[in-house]
Amino acid sequence: MCGLAFLHAPALGEAERMLRIGGALDDMSHRGPDARAAIAGETFTAGHLRLAIVDLVGGAQPMRDPSGRWTLVFNGEIYNFRALRESLASRWTFRDASDTEVLLAGLVLEGERFIERLDGMWAFVLHDAGDGSMLASRDRFGKKPLYYRAEGGKTAFASELPSLRLLLPDMPWRESDPDVADYFRFGYTMPGRTCFVDTHEVLPGHWMKITSDGRRDEIRYWNPTGEPLAIGFEEAAEEVRALLATAVESRQLAADVEVGAFLSGGVDSTVVCALAKRLGAGNLRTFTAGFGESTYDERPFAARAAAELGTRHIAEELQSADAMPLARTLSLRMGQPFGDASLVPSSLVARVAGAHVKVVLTGDGGDEVFGGYARYAGRLLRDRYRKVPAFLRRGIEEAVLAFPEPFAHHSGSFLKRAHLFVALAREPAGAYSAPPAIRAAILQRLSPHLPAGRSAPAAPWPEQGDDVRHMMLRDWLTWMPQDILAKVDRATMAHSVEARSPFLDRRLVEFVLRLPWHWHFDGLKGKRLLKRAMRGHAPDFIWSRRKQGFASPVAHWLRGGLGDEIAQMLPLLEGSMVDRSEIHRLLVEHRGGAVDHSQPLWLVYSYLLWRESL
């Protein structure tokens, strides 16, 4: 895993380009502490930071082909690089054993179509000195980030937004109102967008080519079929188990260093660890962390799973004194507002793992692929609930709202779940593009004149009318890359740790995509197909656990120092689309214990930190 920076600027001298690349690499040095290098061409400079995982001796970047025409900077891992290498060996004399040279050789020999053969996670830029073009791509799900800006004869790419800004310090970096509007709606921008004007990210599942005259083409290379398979439920479960085992094994083998795993004691991480142990990881290290607040602490469940699996388990308690300074640092590290406060505990558990290993397996993607989120069950329940007579619904909702909303995590509080369901039931009907970050009524008060946002990305599969299936597939396109994968990348790379996600294996996802969506649900409970596939192959207790998730006790922080910090920063909202008086009201209500406003207040906090940095 690595960090990359690339600057094409013919009007700048080599010394200036090198200076800017050096500053960008300094800024994200955490992404690659093992090696650092830069190469200057006639019109461009490419820089790279390396976290050495495959071929610890070879694989140095930036990497050039023997002729010197092509220059590659690459962040990620290609899990099938050995098979690809064999297929290219008759046409290429390999100089090392790295996946980087396999990627370079394939792109030089086969061009863009080689990308479709890759199995892994990646973000790369390939410069062709022959015609002056730049080819960039990201993996199918967007696990690895790649931001860019092309303007005024300059084109810059970087793994992180703060580093991109350092490559183009002479350009204005202004707030993009439509994208900030999407941030307040969803907690992030739409794929391909950022909160800066004229600043983008390469779309997941796409390659992009920029020619020497500035013309830009972006093509989707991954177009999975949604055509139904003629297969029974039991046969499908067996295939899921086989595909998932292969995905775990490939992510264990594609490393020349020890591979550990995150373990929360939930379904997804425990399934991954169970398969890793079965496939030969005899001394598997597992890691978890939790807060002292009981409803935000999964350590007891992780300890039970580790004991049953026989892993070498390490657990730590996360202290609020550590979490609060990190919340500010990580928010700034994102380079734009980010609405998911679980970024903080994710980074803290990565810090625990980083003291022991360079690579961890995770359960990310399991909820999206197998229908594990409570919002899917909530949508099914809401459809039934709306058939109840209106007067009865009013009575139910009034009874729930008569009690203050607790600050506990919803997994440990029935009343909290009831409040969340009432809010869902009252949301206006509309097309689903991503889970809303906050309730519509609060958003209306927070920003009465919120502008229109960006369109959601087009789906690469046929749209169907099934409501829950539509939600699941839309989450693959928006929520997963923009929230889950962005969070995991920054959280782990902040501590020089690479995260690998077996549930996001291409073959597994393409198989599940072709199955009936209702196979994932048993009444209102999700992951029915995954449970059938893995029952008897993982500890039994996980199947009856209520989903918890890795959340932060933001509600408690807001009653202390975090609330004070937001109150002091409110003048930064001058000239913004956010109503300062509404923020003050939310703070007062929250700190008085009347209602939990932690999510809208966290959205505002992250936005304030970003405006402070502009």
For the record, the structure tokens of 281 come out as 């990881």
In a domain, 533, yes or no: yes
pLDDT at residue 389, as a whole number:
80
In a domain, 395, yes or no: no
Question: In this structure, are strands 63-64 and 120-128 parallel, antiparallel, or unpaired?
Answer: unpaired
What pLDDT, in 10s, does the model give residues 400-437?
777 777 765 565 677 767 766 777 666 666 678 888 99
Domain closes at, from 137, 171, 205:
171
What pLDDT, in 10s, does the model give residues 207-228?
999 998 889 999 999 999 888 9
Tell me 482's DSSP state. Answer: I
- Say if residue 260 is in the same domain as residue 362: yes
In a domain, 507, yes or no: yes
pLDDT at residue 115, as a whole number:
98
Contacts of 500 (CB under 8 A, 6+ apart): 77, 121, 251, 259, 359, 360, 361, 362
User: Any idea which residue has 């983008």 for tokens?
Assistant: 200
Q: Give me the torsion for CA of 273, 277, 278, 281, rounded to 10°.
A: 130
- Say if residue 167 is in the same domain as residue 244: no
Q: Is residue 391 scored above 80 in pLDDT?
A: no
Burial class (CB in 10 A: 0-12, 13-18, 19+), 228: exposed
- Say if residue 26 is in the same domain as residue 101: yes
How much is the average pLDDT of 116-122? 97
Contacts of 431 (CB under 8 A, 6+ apart): none
- Say if residue 152 is in the same domain as residue 81: yes
- Structural domain boundaries enclosing 122: 2-171
Distances, alpha carbon 509 to alpha carbons 265, 369, 503, 513, in Å: 23, 7, 8, 6
In a domain, 511, yes or no: yes
Q: Report the sign of the C-alpha dihedral through residues 222, 228, 233, 238, in that order.
A: negative
pLDDT at residue 181, as a whole number:
97
CATH number of domain containing 259: 3.40.50.620
How much is the average pLDDT of 150-174? 96
List alpha helices for 318-401, DSSP H.
320-334, 343-354, 366-370, 374-385, 390-401
| 382 pLDDT tier (thresholds 50, 70, 90) | confident
What pLDDT, in 10s, does the model give residues 567-579?
999 999 999 999 9
For 360, the 3-state DSSP assignment is strand
In a domain, 428, yes or no: no
Question: What residues form DSSP beta bridges with 360?
Answer: 260, 499
CA 588 to chain centre: 33
The mean of the pLDDT values for the chain is 92
For the record, the structure tokens of 518 come out as 């209702």
In a domain, 377, yes or no: no
> What gap in Å lies between CA 311 and CA 90, rounded to an integer?
43
Tell me how far apart the 2 most distant CA atoms of the chain are, in Å: 77
- Say if residue 139 is in the same domain as residue 241: no
- Say if residue 36 is in the same domain as residue 144: yes
DSSP element (H, E) containing 46: strand 44-50
What pLDDT, in 10s, does the model give residues 505-545?
999 999 999 999 999 999 888 999 999 999 999 999 999 88
Q: Is residue 187 scored above 80 in pLDDT?
A: yes
What pLDDT, in 10s, does the model give residues 51-107?
999 988 899 999 999 999 999 999 999 999 999 999 999 999 999 999 999 999 999
> What gap in Å lies between CA 290 and CA 323, rounded to an integer?
11
For the record, the structure tokens of 401 come out as 């709202």
Domain closes at, from 499, 522, 544:
544
Distances, alpha carbon 581 to alpha carbons 77, 421, 449, 560, 574, in Å: 48, 28, 15, 20, 11
> What gap in Å lies between CA 299 and CA 288, rounded to an integer?
7
In a domain, 15, yes or no: yes
pLDDT at residue 481, as a whole number:
97
- Does residue 417 or residue 185 have the better pLDDT? 185
For the record, the structure tokens of 298 come out as 């999964």
Instruction: Indicate the number of domains in the chain.
Output: 2
- Does residue 247 or residue 325 have the better pLDDT? 247
- Say if residue 143 is in the same domain as residue 283: no
| 461 pLDDT tier (thresholds 50, 70, 90) | confident
> What gap in Å lies between CA 103 and CA 545, rounded to an integer?
42
Using a pLDDT cut of 90, give the percent of the chain over it: 73
Contacts of 544 (CB under 8 A, 6+ apart): none
User: Any idea which residue has 């003629």 for tokens?
Assistant: 230
Give the CB-side neighbour count of residue 603, counting CA atoms within 13 A: 24
CATH number of domain containing 124: 3.60.20.10
- Say if residue 36 is in the same domain as residue 142: yes
Q: What is the pTM of this model?
A: 0.93
- Say if residue 22 is in the same domain as residue 163: yes
> What gap in Å lies between CA 536 and CA 190, rounded to an integer?
40
What pLDDT, in 10s, does the model give residues 23-44?
999 999 999 999 999 999 999 9
Q: Is residue 475 scored above 90 in pLDDT?
A: yes
What pLDDT, in 10s, does the model give residues 293-322?
777 788 999 999 999 999 999 999 888 778
> What gap in Å lies between CA 75 and CA 232, rounded to an integer?
39
For the record, the structure tokens of 226 come out as 């949604």
Residue type, 218: E
Question: In this structure, are strands 312-318 and 133-138 parallel, antiparallel, or unpaired?
Answer: unpaired
- Say if residue 126 is in the same domain as residue 272: no
| 458 pLDDT tier (thresholds 50, 70, 90) | confident
- Say if residue 158 is in the same domain as residue 255: no
In a domain, 386, yes or no: no
Domain closes at, from 154, 171, 188:
171
For the record, the structure tokens of 492 come out as 């782990």
- Say if residue 276 is in the same domain as residue 127: no
> What gap in Å lies between CA 243 and CA 250, rounded to an integer?
11
> What gap in Å lies between CA 473 and CA 527, rounded to an integer?
15
> What gap in Å lies between CA 92 and CA 306, rounded to an integer?
45
Question: What residues form DSSP beta bridges with 603?
Answer: none
CA 427 to chain centre: 26
> What gap in Å lies between CA 167 and CA 17, rounded to an integer?
8
Q: Is residue 386 scored above 80 in pLDDT?
A: no
Residue type, 395: G
pLDDT at residue 428, as a whole number:
66
Which among 334, 9, 331, 332 has a CA at the least distance from the CA of 167?
9
